[in-house]
Amino acid sequence: MSGCSRRCKRGIFRCFQTLFKLLTGTLHKDKIEDELEMTTVCYRPEGLEQLEAQTNFNKRELQVLYRGFKNECPSGVVNEDTFKQIYSQFFPHGDASRYAHYLFNAFDAAQSGSVKFEDFVAALSVLLRGTIREKLRWTFNLYDINKDGNINKEEMMDIVKAIYDMMGKYTYPVLKDDAPKQHVEVFFQKMDKNKDGIVTLDEFIECCQEDDNIMRSLQLFENVM
């Protein structure tokens, strides 16, 4: 298993842990600067019954998640600056802003510039209770920065560099300057089955399903809640 793949998986799992702590109220509001809160407009989510039908959570679980979400985000929505501020707390030795930007875009499916409770719950439903294919599709969408249905080398380079920045020099103090490029090459050697310079969703899912380490990592999500 390549170092790049391990770091990508760790990054995804840490991102989920961070968001889960946000939603269940285990992050403290005094850690977030007040000026980053969106307080001008209060947003109320659609009925829990509808969310229960649309997700893999029951009503009690949704109530717990919503209570935690409202404690941290009284306005009912999260903007990108607030998201970055929250996320950066879990990576004190690095710069998580670029990775948080990509992650925020993955949650902000409508590209509205803010993430509502429904957006969080939809993603959590996939990561916690979705099928293997659904989880891998969500991950693929995170890496597909320009949302054209493929992952090219430039996109993967951006993701890998963001992961290195997030982990920080104290975690990886002896990395060579060309390490991200090497990891991208390894990724494409494995994932780009037809060697056309892009990785499709089908290629991504097929390769991930053949990797026992990735499959075990995805199963970790199932035991969080």
CATH number among 1.10.1750.10, 3.40.640.10, 3.30.70.600, 1.10.238.10, domain 3-219: 1.10.238.10
DSSP-derived letter for residue 120 is H
Region of poorest pLDDT, from 21-25, 34-38, 138-142, 182-186:
34-38
For residues 209 and 1, which has the higher predicted lDDT (pLDDT)? 209
Does residue 12 contact residue 58 with C-beta atoms inside 8 Å? Answer: no
Residue 23 has pLDDT above 60, yes or no: no
Average pLDDT, the chain: 78
Q: What's the pLDDT at 100? A: 93
Beta bridge partners of 152: 198
Q: What's the pLDDT at 163? A: 87
Instruction: Find the largest Cα–Cα distance for the chain.
Output: 52
Is this structure's pTM higher than 0.85? no
For 170-203, the pLDDT digits (tens) are 555 455 567 888 889 999 999 999 999 999 999 9
For 85-97, the pLDDT digits (tens) are 888 888 888 899 9
Q: What percent of the chain has pLDDT over 70?
A: 73
Predicted confidence band of residue 168 (pLDDT cuts 50, 70, 90): confident
Taking residues 144-156, report their average pLDDT: 96
Question: Which two tokens mark 1?
Answer: 């298993």
Length of the chain: 225
For 34-83, the pLDDT digits (tens) are 333 333 345 556 678 889 999 999 989 998 888 888 877 788 888 999 88
Does residue 13 contact residue 217 with C-beta atoms inside 8 Å? Answer: yes
CA neighbor of 193 nearest in space, from 182, 207, 180: 207
- List the domain boundaries for the chain: 3-219
Region of poorest pLDDT, from 17-21, 143-147, 148-152, 186-190:
17-21
